[in-house]
Amino acid sequence: MARIVSGAVPSPNIWNTPQIYELENLAVGPAGAAEAAMRALMRPWDGATVVEIGCGSGFHLPALAASAGRVVGVEPHGGLAAQAAARCASLPNVSVRTGTAQALPLPDASADVAIARWAYFFGPGCEPGLRELGRVLRRGGAAFVVDVDASRGAFGRWFRRSLPSYSPEAVERFWSRQGWRREDLDLRMTFRSRADLEAVLRIEFTPEVAGEALREVEGLDVDYPNVLRWREF
């Protein structure tokens, strides 16, 4: 059984079914849209030290490594961290470490950019992780959080129905109080087959909601509204 770092918040979709989550990563497009939006908001990060928090199996690390001077992936699930390390074994500027957002295994002021994708959904409760960003980022650095925008579109409606306790309004108030800015990020999932689409919807939503979503979706495309949040340090 894979070791999971103490204090990690469970992420059932990728922890339980990493092979299906890989299909989800492959489907999300247009390619590089999130990275392009991040890079447009700060000084160039070519040659910078970039940290991805909650890097999972390392899907995004090679793309980051193409321009960054150094990339560090941090992942609390030992099995996924091992997959990420194997994926990046041929990339000398990438390292992967096990750790949590609230106790990053990095020295003070050692990174220029921090990125967390689909890891900070809930707002309240994330304060320890946000304090850690202030510790590890250098002056002038920036942190980015990409999350589902549960206030928009069919995907947002399915998300809210699967998790009725989730309040997009409360989450938005939290990030605003913390001093983060935001902009809409309009992504789209395009699958290679209906089987892949069905598999992904079934790891993201309750069985009832996944069935509803499958009846609504025609073809292989799903609009995927996200929000990009950022803050400079």
* Confidence band, pLDDT 50/70/90 cuts, at residue 33: confident
The beta-carbon contacts of 194-199 under 8 Å, at least 24 apart in sequence, are: 194/220, 196/23, 196/27, 197/27, 197/222, 199/20, 199/23
- Please compute the mean of the pLDDT values over residues 8-20 and round it to a whole number: 93
pLDDT exceeding 90 applies to what percent of the chain?
Answer: 85
Helix (H, G, I), strand (E, B) or coil at 220: coil
Please indicate, yes or no, whether the overall pTM of this predicted structure exceeds 0.75. yes
Residue pair 73/96 in contact by the 8 Å Cβ criterion: yes
List C-alpha distances in Å: 116 to 38, 50, 74, 164: 12, 11, 10, 24
> How far is C-alpha 193 from the geometric centre of its chain's CA atoms?
24
The pLDDT, as a whole number, for residue 30 is: 63
The pLDDT, as a whole number, for residue 139 is: 94
**What is the separation, in whole angstroms, between the first and last Cα of the chain?**
38
- pLDDT score of 83 more than 70: yes
